[in-house]
Structure 1
Amino acid sequence: MVRKVRRVLTVLTGAAVALVCSLALAGPAAAQAAPKPKLAPGGVDITGDRLDQPLRLRADTRPADVNLIVDQVKWLGTTGQLRGPAAKDLGPKYTVVVLVAGTPKNTFDLFPLAKGGPRVYRPAKQPDLSRPRAGWFFGRLNMSETLRSVGVPLEPRFDTLSGGIGGGERVLPEDALDPVQDLDTALGELQRLLLLNVGVVVVITAGLAGIALLVRRRTR
């Protein structure tokens, strides 16, 4: 009987170790995964600096313009930076609301002239009542020209510098890169992953202890 108990405990322990290992391997992949939202936009509304009335673009009349604006935000991942540039460095703000079937679904704040390159802020509170993680993202380099092309009152701006093969200049200045902030975000994700794995180990260990105690009582 004792041998059977030992075999059962050995099998359960092996299964627990395998489960923890699988979680540890799958965790980073899940944390780094950035699935793109599947948008089927029927239009976008744009409000912001120097726009007296919302700029309403609809897919049935201006499909190319709608796709240009949606392309600025559809690629955002699940996790952005927790902090953005200082308010004085953001420049004019334009709020984009994406509509699906005539109903507001997602909203984003675009800062095409932000110091260090265009930025996008995704608030946690969304029109469709979803609760994504609020975060800051670097925007596409053509953001200002894209907004201007659909009717936003922005001055013409060369967003891409050219200089031939091997020429040109850095498009994003040095101060646009913030390795400390990116490291803080990565460490936060790793900490949450480790806490999850520790919790699983504690639950499995408690279960094994309970089973061992129950079997011991029955064998007496």
Structure 2
Amino acid sequence: MVGRVRRLLGRLVSVAAVAVLTVGLASPARAAAERAAPKPPPAGVDITGVGLTEPLRLRAGNQPAQVVAVIDQVSWFGRTGAAKGPKAADLGPKYTIVVLAGDKPRQTFDLYPLAKGGPRAYRPAKQPDSRKTTAGWFLGRLNMSETLRSVGVPLERQIDTVSGGVGGGERVIPEDSLNPAKDIDDALAELQRLLLLNVGVMLVITSGLAGIALLIRRRTR
């Protein structure tokens, strides 16, 4: 009887160890795979503004580079911007871009590529998808004018801004893509779930071992 109980105990420990290792390795691997999975680019961008008699419609299906270039002008903005922007007389021509997901408008921004002191961008508090955000002004990338011109906006070539660069503001990686803060939060949440799961498994194993040990003790008396 004691031999059978000991063999049972050994099998239980082996199975439990395999279960813990499987849980510990599968969860991070699955989370890493989900984070590494490529996300589809925005479906498109609509641009309206000075000199455009009708909206300039860019779609990722046939103009992916142009769509990405325009999105790059606004995707790095922080959650909060300046409460006040330049004077209206210093802003120059305005171009409104609307980012679409599928056929639905998702975000909108007003771009001022020729503003005095450098390109500016304004994010309205009211967004097409009703997401909660705060209105704010941001310094734009130095190549904003050239980027818009390259996709079809009627702007004169700006020789001194061809090299591009960042105008300023709080820089973050796009919110729907590789946001570091979001990635860290997700990693911590995943780690917490993993630790809790492992603790639960260990408690079950400990309880089982304690019960078997008690049974062995009673049988050997």
Give the TM-score range, shorter chain.
0.5 to 0.7
Seen in structure 2, the aligned counterparts of structure 1 residues 105 and 79 have a Cα distance that, compared at 3 Å, is: same
Matches within 5 A, 1:115-126: 115-126=116-127
- Deviation (angstroms), 1:102: 1.4
For structure 2, the 5+ residue unaligned runs are 1-38, 170-221
Distance 2:155 2:115 in 1: 13
Seen in structure 2, the aligned counterparts of structure 1 residues 161 and 49 have a Cα distance that, compared at 3 Å, is: closer
2:144 is the counterpart of 1:143: yes
Distance 1:131 1:80 in 2: 14
Cα offsets for 1:111-164 (capped at 9, x unmatched): 0000000001000000000120100000000000000000000001124389xx
TM-score by length of 1: 0.55
Q: Which amino acid aligns with 2:94?
A: K
Distance 1:70 1:159 in 2: 22
Paired position in structure 1 for 2:71 = 70
TM-score by length of 2: 0.55
Paired position in structure 2 for 1:89 = 90
Q: Which amino acid aligns with 2:143?
A: N
Give the alignment's Cα RMSD to 1 decimal.
2.3
Cα offsets for 1:6-45 (capped at 9, x unmatched): xxxxxxxxxxxxxxxxxxxxxxxxxxxxxxxx98410000
- Deviation (angstroms), 1:103: 0.7
Number of residue pairs aligned between Structure 1 and Structure 2: 129
Paired position in structure 2 for 1:110 = 111
For structure 1, the 5+ residue unaligned runs are 1-37, 163-170, 178-220
| 1:49–1:93 Cα contact (<8 Å) kept | yes
Distance 1:66 1:110 in 2: 15
Distance 1:149 1:159 in 2: 15
Matches within 5 A, 1:161-180: none
Seen in structure 2, the aligned counterparts of structure 1 residues 40 and 153 have a Cα distance that, compared at 3 Å, is: same
| 1:141–1:159 Cα contact (<8 Å) kept | no
